[in-house]
Amino acid sequence: DELLFMVVHQASELWFKAILHELEELVARMEGKNALGALYTVGRLNALTRIVTAQLSALDTLPPQHFAQFRGFLGSSSGSQSAQFRAIEAASGLREPHFLNAISEHGEPPEIVRKWIARPTLQNLLDGMISDAGTTYEELYSGPGPGALVLLAEGLLEYEQSFSLWRFLHVQLVERIIGPGTGGTGGTLGAKYLQRTISTRFFPRLWEVRAKFFGAAKK
């Protein structure tokens, strides 16, 4: 059981590293207004996010009484406390107070997290690409066909949904093993933090534009 937990944890860190690499590439291509290149990169990003989500199911086989026997020896081995995981959240666009409080929970945030916080969010970069194209979100989705920008926007929305699914399944896993209300491994906020971030939007304007279409239909 302990070996399984450590393998999943270490494998997750490797996938987080790959996801951060693709986020770097995605940001560079979006800053360069390369919609087709960004579309290719977000496709790979989504594939990696699905992988890191799928492997959580292996820990569903971990009995709580067995986990309790070695939990105290894990130190800071917490998925949600991982510096790379926090960097992914920052790179994706989290700037909410609960996120900023969480990354400072045990002192100054890691350098990799501070670096991403100082950079534009993916939402900001998408805003810039749409503005430079001389259009708006409503016009983009009202066009004659799904061009590169629309496909990129939908790919980014898929990424947000995949990441939210990872959070949700992680919450379910944590509560299944250690119960609701128990602090996370490594002295973290555990499932409580993940629950608060499930509803956080990386791309609020991509959700808002959908509501506008239905609002217009009622008039």
**Tens digits of per-residue pLDDT, 92-103?**
988 776 676 776
pLDDT for position 67: 81
**Which domains does the chain possess?**
2-214 (1.20.58.480)
Closest CA to 120 of 99, 90, 140, 145: 90
**Tens digits of per-residue pLDDT, 147-201?**
899 999 999 999 999 999 998 888 888 888 877 766 555 545 556 766 777 778 8
Taking a C-beta distance cutoff of 8 angstroms, is the pair 122, 27 a contact? yes
pLDDT for position 219: 46
Residue 50 has pLDDT above 70, yes or no: yes
pTM for this prediction:
0.84
Confidence of residue 76 (pLDDT cuts 50, 70, 90): low
SS3 content of the chain, % helix, strand, coil (to 5): 75, 0, 25
Residue 216 has pLDDT above 60, yes or no: no
Q: What is the mean pLDDT of residues 134-151?
A: 89
DSSP secondary structure string for all residues of 91-126:
HHT---HHHHHHHTTTSSPPHHHHHHHTSPPHHHHH
